[in-house]
Amino acid sequence: MTVTEQGLLERDKDTMTLNMGPQHPSTHGVFRVVLEMDGEVVLSAVPEIGYLHTGIEKSSENKRYVHVIPMTDRLDYLNPPGNNLAFCLTTEKLLQVEIPGRAQYIRVIMCELTRIASHLLWLGTHALDIGAMTVFLYAWREREMILDLNEMISGVRMMTSFIRIGGVAKDATPEWIQGTRKFIDYFPEKIDEYESLLTKNPIWMDRTQEVGVFSKEQALDWSFSGPCLRASGVDFDFRKKRPYSGYENFRFEVPVGKNGDIYDRYRCRIQEMRESREIIKQALDALPDDGYKIPDNKISLPPRNTLKTSMEALIHHFKLVSEGIKVPAGETYVPTEGPRGEVGFYIVSDGSNVPYRVKLRAPSFMASPGMCHMMTGHFIADVVGIIGSVDIVMGEVDR
Amino acid sequence: MIDTVTQFLSDNVGLIVGAVKAAVIAVALLSSVPILVWLERRLMGRFQVRLGPNRVGPFGLGQPFADAVKLLFKESIIQGSADKFLFFLAPAVVVFTAIVTFSAIPFGASFTLFGQEIGPHVANINVGLLFVFAISSMGIYGIVLAGLASNNKYSLMGGLRSSAQMISYELTLGLAALGVIIVSGSLNLVEIVEDQSVVPNIILQPLAFILFFTAGIAETNRAPFDLPEAEQELVAGFHTEYTGMKFAMFFMGEYVNMITMSAMVTVLFLGGWNAYIFEFMVPPVIGPIIVFASKVFILLCVFIWLRSTFPRIRYDRLMTFGWKVLLPLAVLNLMVSGFIKVVL
């Protein structure tokens, strides 16, 4: 219940306008919100975005499809493989190609690892916002391992750009598979450790329960997606409802909350980390062996060693590198489930080697007005809690 | 000439001894701040699976001194809209009250030096407890003034929170201490310690101890009650606009207050310099001070431990907790203690 609803506060006309951000320790990047305050209570909150405008959508119109992939990494910088995947899936749908199982599974493993990493970052910063400092560093410790795994497979820790049109950039090495196995065996007890610091902690419960409540209807009205939507009690997950990239092959639960408060969002995400671990485990166990990219050399580069012996391979290589992939004219959209919600690219192709228009459906952008609505009637201390619980990433809000 | 000097000295022994003691204690207190900062950073590092400062000097012990030097040479920035006089006054008030509070706290048994009986405290005031409360509550003026003088909304909110918090928790602090006074029958801190030579007050007044320590954490603005400077909400609270040494003075004030509060808990509840079953290990003269310092050290570690474990409590809950939980419990404790004292 908000403070104004409880009738704890007598309203008077003297209010204070407080500018929070873009330089503020806990607005998660360069988010700015202008708060109308009555004492410590927020009367209205107006979001101001645009401080991290990169023009990625526009620059995509001048870049070949393959060249767009590294830019998608920088949109939601906590979910690079997820963005790569969303872009590649859409392009592949336009190209009407079928991706080999191994590539799909590697993609899933990378995306789920990144989901864990993203949730760990969320957990750490969210707990830090509420004042629990230690959880932050514990979460960082495990995130570091995921980044090491990323480096092992792609050579880059964060902006992997590993998922390519037609598959993935390289095959998964045995070392990486072994490292991932080691990580998922080690990880569950660490989740218990975070939970031991927070879940039953009276101060944590006090700070998060019945704060920032969004009902089922409100969450749908304000176009929430992902964990925020599920915490409000809507059982919706694209991995289940419209499976892509082989998600239909894995058994996992979709955690759903009840009250739609900060605490439920916290519980949902914690549970999601456990489920992601399950998915990775199953994917590693059932990793097929049918190639990490499609054999069609008009879309994916021919193997390096064939270049010196095969004329055709050389020509394909030259054409692909100099001209890029020609995508048939059309427009399409493939929704995927990112750590923050529905991520998808709407791509319009005019048949050339550069997209005519690329539009990102960014969950953080869609959630930010609802988030500010949520702040109304709460204390300023809850504002940072709400920002943290919705988990916005400015990179995809301003794009 | 020499006669006059000797005459003056022998006439004013008390004054000279007092001045020397005051200087020694003030210096010791201020120089323990960097060590405490180092301890906090190292301990927090251990709690949080990292190393903490370990580059400057052995075990990183030089780090706080390096920081102090850096802060001294920082540019002092005062924004144009600030009230200059109050802006300068605020940190001075904080440090002054923090140090003066300690003057009434006895941290060892009396010993004899050059035929003079010397008690390790600046002043043995017969209402010592009242003096400590009176002076320590003055420290909040510094914080409120800082919030006011900065002319910054975040600072103002920090200052407001601070005043509300201090007033609420001082009541509990005082009422919890009253339980001790009922047991000891004195306001004199030396007598309170001597009264505990057999059984420390923590056993006689366990509830009062918990209440006093909790309220003490709130009183010193430490986590989980560090709302006046809640970094994630108010940027840095009342000291948002402060730079360089003026910021360092707030910092020093906070740490001296931590030491003072731990010393108060030691005096009131943990039996001061009485070592109880470890009495046989205590060396003469310097021994009681070591015993006292060890108890303070343990309490300081608890302060740091709490900071690394708990999230920050919310402002309204802080008030509710103070007025609806701590205060009634303190009153209850007082009534029960009084009843037992009268009946038995």
Token pair listed for B24: 């020694």
Whether the pLDDT of residue A307 is over 60: the answer is: yes
B224 → closest Cβ in A16, A131, A384: A131
Output the pTM of the full model: 0.85
pLDDT score, position A347: 92
Whether the pLDDT of residue B300 is over 80: the answer is: yes
Q: Which residues of B touch A144 (CB under 8 A)?
A: none
Percent of chain A past pLDDT 90, that is, above it, reads 17
Q: Distance between CA B140 and CA B158 in Å, rounded?
A: 11
CA distance A11 to chain B (A): 17
Query: How many A/B residue pairs have CB atoms within 8 Å?
Result: 85
Q: Is A4 on the interface with B (CB under 8 A)?
A: no
Whether the pLDDT of residue B228 is over 80: the answer is: no
pLDDT score, position B231: 65
Return the residue in A133, A198, A266, A389 with the most chain B beta carbons within 10 A, the one to mutate for interface testing: A133
Token pair listed for A177: 């598979």
CA nearest A211 in B: which residue? B314
Q: Which residues of B touch A24 (CB under 8 A)?
A: 235
Whether the pLDDT of residue A346 is over 90: the answer is: yes
Q: What is the pLDDT of residues A61-71, one digit of tens each?
A: 999 988 999 99
Token pair listed for A108: 């899933």
| DSSP-derived 3-state class of residue B270 | coil
Q: Which residues of A touch B231 (CB under 8 A)?
A: 25-26
Whether the pLDDT of residue B253 is over 90: the answer is: no
Beta bridge partners of A37: A16, A42
Whether the pLDDT of residue A5 is over 70: the answer is: no
Q: Which residues of A touch B157 (CB under 8 A)?
A: 40, 380
Token pair listed for B88: 């300068």
Question: pLDDT confidence of A178, banded at 50, 70, 90?
Answer: very high
Q: Is A204 on the interface with B (CB under 8 A)?
A: yes
Question: pLDDT confidence of A167, banded at 50, 70, 90?
Answer: confident
| DSSP-derived 3-state class of residue A273 | helix
Q: Which residues of A touch B316 (CB under 8 A)?
A: 3, 8, 40, 379
Q: Is A334 on the interface with B (CB under 8 A)?
A: no
Q: What is the pLDDT of residues B21-58, one digit of tens each?
A: 788 888 888 888 888 888 888 888 888 888 888 888 78
What integer best gives the mean pLDDT of chain A?
A: 87
Q: What is the pLDDT of residues B92-109, one digit of tens each?
A: 888 888 888 888 888 777
A203 → closest Cβ in B154, B224, B233: B224
Cβ B311–A134 below 8 Å, yes or no?
no
Separation in Å, CA A189 to CA A119, A120, B208: 16, 14, 38
Domain ranges of chain A: 56-96+99-293+328-398
Whether the pLDDT of residue A11 is over 60: the answer is: no
Cβ B231–A25 below 8 Å, yes or no?
yes
Q: At what angle do helices B244-268 and B287-309 cross, to 10 degrees?
A: 110
Angle at A136 between CA A130 and CA A140, to 5 degrees: 155
Q: Which of residues 62-121 of A touch B (CB under 8 A)?
A: none
CA nearest B43 in A: which residue? A134
Predicted complex ipTM: 0.78
CA distance B311 to chain A (A): 4
Contacts of B145 (CB under 8 A, 6+ apart): B86, B89, B90, B93, B159
Pairing of strands A32-38, A41-48: antiparallel
B48 → closest Cβ in A137, A207, A382: A137
Give the 3-state DSSP-derived string for A121-136, with helices as H, strands as E and coil as C: HHHHHHHHHHCCHHHH
Cβ A132–B310 below 8 Å, yes or no?
yes
| DSSP-derived 3-state class of residue B38 | helix
Tell which CATH classification among 3.50.50.60, 3.20.80.10, 2.60.120.890, 1.10.645.10 matches the domain A56-96+99-293+328-398: 1.10.645.10
pLDDT score, position A348: 92
Q: Distance between CA B269 and CA B282 in Å, rounded?
A: 20
Cβ A203–B153 below 8 Å, yes or no?
no
Q: Which residues of B touch A128 (CB under 8 A)?
A: 232
Q: Where are the beta strands (DSSP E) in A127-204?
A: 163-164, 167-168
pLDDT score, position A10: 55
Q: Are A167 and A292 in contact (CB under 8 A)?
A: yes
Q: Which residues of A touch B223 (CB under 8 A)?
A: 131, 133
Separation in Å, CA A64 to CA A317, A335, B277: 15, 22, 80
B311 → closest Cβ in A18, A203, A383: A203
Cβ B48–A129 below 8 Å, yes or no?
no
Beta bridge partners of A345: A334, A360
DSSP 8-state class, residue B56 = S
Q: Residues, chain B, total?
A: 344
